[in-house]
Chains A and B, each alone.
Chain A
Amino acid sequence: MAKKIALLQGNEACAHGALYAGCNFFGGYPITPSTEVAEVMSGELPKVGGKFIQMEDEIGAMASIIGASLAGSKALTATSGPGVSLKQELIGYACIAEVPCVIINVMRGGPSTGMPTGPGQSDVMQARWGTHGDHAAIALCPSSCQEIFSETVRAFNLAEKYRMPVQVLFDEIVGHMRERIVFPEPGELEVIDRTAPSVPPEQYKPFDTSFGDVPPLAAFGSDYRFHVTGLNKAEDGFPTTKAELVDAEERRQIRKVEGAEARADIELNEEYMTEDAEVVIFAYGSTARSARYAVNELREQGIKAGLFRPITLWPFPEKRVAELGEQVKAMVVAEMNLGQMVFEVERIVKNTCKLGLVTRVDGDPLTPTQIIDQVKEVL
């Protein structure tokens, strides 16, 4: 049977990716330019017996998905910069309480209301450090409508597997662009559900590290009952201020994402013509589309250019960026902000190669010409 094909907006593709991943709860609040995700979910979820709720505010939306997830749902919310700012309080809660959930951020400019209908990539550091306290972060950044579908599926998989909030960031350009989408068949893309406890209910501890850095998670309303708090907690889920327990918990929550094995599982990059490249453009989201065009142009002009596109922004692809830094003469970071990921690149490549930066924040996308000019200037 022929696969289902559709012309979909990025935001619509996101909603369909969530449904493919088994999402059965959406809690949201209207905000441009992400609202279409909520609109599609409001129509589709009841068809599959799922639940949609438009909450009274962004914080309430985030609270509702954490509550639903603890009751066993696969839960999603979608918003944009100002909404993510409000959600930070409870993104931190989902981090420390280790509750799987997915947050879509269709990025516009900022700070504050900024330019609601224009694109931006200025939330990439917010995705890493937006909530207070030490915590790990997983953030994915697709650059096409098809990839929004598959990365939304992957976001659910990572949220469930690592028991934590996962953010998917795409800029307004990709969110509102329409492209041809080929719907994967059921089973074609992997769908992961959280690990349920295997011990008898009376032995269950919600943060039992004898099962590894990601303890199994039961659901409210099952045979298991347990306590959840935003306080530092011991393995049984109850608050503790014991120094050794707090220290172990904080370090484990970083390690479960940033440990070597987890990194290898979570990191995903696309490389284009990097094998022999002397200059690599580091670009993500819609900017990577201009960068790819720039690479082709530069190659035609005899400059050995390549593209490194992180699809997983966080954890940052440290190992591969370091290798490329050793290989190339220069790296040029292109981003729709005034320089954010460039600092991560700088931290990793150190002085192994020259580093250039091209930015844009006027509501228009970076053009291939701007990127080409910067590459030539750095070389």
Chain B
Amino acid sequence: MAYDYEKSIRPGKLPHIWCPGCGHGIVMKGLIRAMDTCGLEKNNTAIVSGIGCASRMPGYLDFNTLHTAHGRAAAFATGVKMAKPEMTVICCGGDGDGAAIGGNHFIHACRRNIDMTYVLLNNYIYGMTGGQFSSSTPPGHLASTTPYGNPDPAFDLAKLAIGAGATFVARTTAFHATQIDKLIVEGIKHKGMAVIEILDDCPTTYGRRNKFRSVVDMMKRLKDIAVPVTAAAKMTPEQLEGKTLTGVLHKEDRPEYCENYAKIIARVQGA
């Protein structure tokens, strides 16, 4: 029997704004399946986003949803989670939103190890504004503001999250649809800051400028660059050139922020 997505979608809010061929819908379906698998209660879950194509996702989902300002999702979400630690808090948004204008909030949420799951849709571009290069656009690639090729180095967002202190970091792509919900499920179940980077495609503003003739070409690229972290262990550096590791990249146990603060309250009130 086909999976019933309707039960998690707000009535009357579709169709979505995303272009044909965009991977955001694949990610949203993965998120829906993951929240369902985890048995999340709608009233006890908040989905928080910033600004951009990916940040429109919460509006379609029948939960407490907070569409904030550009880059600020992690900071708003921190306020929600700290105020009501019993809630499940999920952030979603793009690479420009989360890692450029919102980079500071993102790394500090990782550092605090606050219990939230950040689904970071990395499509290498500012899509909503028409295709300007982002902090994760590969060097040399073309964007509307890099007509001679991107002079900037790109962030490795998963490495950034690990370096900043996130205690669960995973990566997959929009091509690997079934892995999306598996990793998000692990992220939601993990106590602490979980970052799931999902490499995505933007055929409209990234693909057409960078010689991806069709959406299929973009999806093939995502398939080709992805190497499971387990397989990578047996590969040479030459074989890994241009590849991206996928799967669970980092997992550790470290005290969670709200639990730590609850201990402070208990200690102060007990004294």
Interface residues in chain A, defined as those with a beta carbon under 8 Å from any beta carbon in chain B: 25, 27, 46-47, 49, 51, 53, 55-57, 59-60, 63-73, 75, 89-90, 93, 220-231, 238-239
Residues on A with C-beta less than 8 A from B261 are: 46, 51
**Shortest beta-carbon distance, A131 to chain B, in Å?**
11
Q: Given A60-B105, A68-B82, A228–B72 Cβ distance below 8 Å?
A: no
**Shortest beta-carbon distance, A90 to chain B, in Å?**
6
Contact A220 B79 (CB under 8 A): no
Q: How far is the CA of A89 from the CA of B67 in the complex (A)?
A: 14
**Shortest beta-carbon distance, B71 to chain A, in Å?**
8
**Shortest beta-carbon distance, A288 to chain B, in Å?**
35
**Pairs of residues from A and B, 10 with the lowest C-beta to C-beta distance, nearest first:** A67-B79, A63-B75, A64-B79, A71-B83, A56-B108, A60-B75, A68-B83, A68-B79, A67-B76, A229-B67
Please pick, from A57, A67, A70, A226, the residue contacting B104 in the complex, using a CB distance under 8 A.
A57
Contact with A along B64-79 (1 / 0, CB 8 A): 1111110010011111
Contact B76 A64 (CB under 8 A): yes
Please pick, from A56, A66, A230, the residue contacting B79 in the complex, using a CB distance under 8 A.
A66
Q: Is B129 an interface residue (CB 8 A)?
A: no
CB-nearest residue of chain A to B66 = A228
Q: How far is the CA of A190 from the CA of B82 in the complex (A)?
A: 27
Residues on A with C-beta less than 8 A from B59 are: 227, 229, 238-239
Q: Decide if the interface of chain B is mainly helix, strand, loop or mixed.
A: helix
Q: Taking A55-B75, A71-B83, A226-B65 as given, write out 5 further A-B residue pairs in contact, using a Cβ cutoff of 8 Å, ordered by the A residue number.
A: A49-B269, A51-B261, A64-B82, A68-B83, A70-B80
Contact B80 A55 (CB under 8 A): no
Contact B64 A226 (CB under 8 A): yes
CB-nearest residue of chain B to A49 = B265
Contact B269 A46 (CB under 8 A): yes
Q: Which of B41-49, B172-180, B185-193, B218-226 contacts A (4 or more CB under 8 A)?
A: B41-49
**Shortest beta-carbon distance, B128 to chain A, in Å?**
13
CB-nearest residue of chain B to A64 = B79
Q: Is B264 an interface residue (CB 8 A)?
A: yes
**Shortest beta-carbon distance, B220 to chain A, in Å?**
35
> Could you give 19 example pairs across A and B, Cβ below 8 Å?
A25-B82, A27-B79, A46-B264, A46-B268, A59-B105, A60-B104, A63-B75, A64-B75, A64-B79, A65-B79, A68-B82, A68-B83, A221-B64, A221-B86, A221-B87, A225-B43, A227-B59, A228-B65, A230-B69
